[in-house]
Amino acid sequence: MNGNKSNSPGFPYIAEHIFAPIYPVIADYIIKESRVKEGVCMDMGCGIASLGIAIAEITDMQVYSIDFSGNMCVLSKEKALRHGVSDKVVPVLADVHLLPFGDNCTNLIVSRGSVFFWKDLPIAFREIARILAPNGQAWIGGGFGTKELKEQISEKMLAIDPEWHNNAKERLSPENIQAMQKAGGETGLACRTVQDDSGFWVVINKEE
């Protein structure tokens, strides 16, 4: 995985100790922008479920934190327990390319920093569109919440990973952005791109 070199402390440590302040900011932003705050939320490629947990802390949503790594699922369960939201955040071991859920079952899908690792964007986006409920939204992309947080985190990341800037640039290369937008468009649902201080997001809307 990019940014997870052998001398790096590993993503769970980074999420807990370096990225930690970004998740409540991103959760707040997506909930306000989407205006979806009830029903089911899924955090795709959740890592240790930092974003899903931040959403559970500010809404009454039932959150499923999805990752294809068993270790991440264990860590996300432990983190949900520490945050007192284990009844609201349930880990699910699954691959975003083949989701074990029925059609139209999810009101909000969030996915931060995972899409860059998905092997087949059209298949993954089709799965996301399939499980999205009418009036539901999917926010797929990445970001650091605000410009200031991004600067602070870049400084800390550079100290442990000299390739940090190059990797970040590669993740948001024009080709990658185009591929994400194309996969979003091919779902046949309303799709737009949001690129601002919160980050880069492909937003899919299943209009009723």
Ligand X SMILES: C[S@@+](CC[C@H](N)C(=O)[O-])C[C@H]1O[C@@H](n2cnc3c(N)ncnc32)[C@H](O)[C@@H]1O
Q: Which residues bind ligand X (CB under 6 A)?
A: 11, 15, 45-47, 50-51, 67-69, 72, 95-97, 112-114, 117-118
Nearer to ligand X, 144 or 207 (CB): 144
What single letter denotes the amino acid at residue 177? I
CA 89, 94, 100, 105 torsion-angle sign: positive
Nearer to ligand X, 107 or 114 (CB): 114
Instruction: Find the shortest distance in angstroms from Cβ 82 to ligand X.
Output: 15
Q: How distant is the alpha carbon of residue 94 from its chain centre?
A: 14
* DSSP bridge pairs for 196: 199
Instruction: Find the shortest distance in angstroms from Cβ 112 to ligand X.
Output: 4
Instruction: Find the shortest distance in angstroms from Cβ 207 to ligand X.
Output: 26
Nearer to ligand X, 120 or 155 (CB): 120
Instruction: Find the shortest distance in angstroms from Cβ 46 to ligand X.
Output: 5
Instruction: Find the shortest distance in angstroms from Cβ 4 to ligand X.
Output: 8
Nearer to ligand X, 40 or 54 (CB): 54
Nearer to ligand X, 114 or 187 (CB): 114
Q: How far apart are alpha carbons 183 and 128 in whole angstroms? A: 11
Nearest position to ligand X, beta carbon: 47
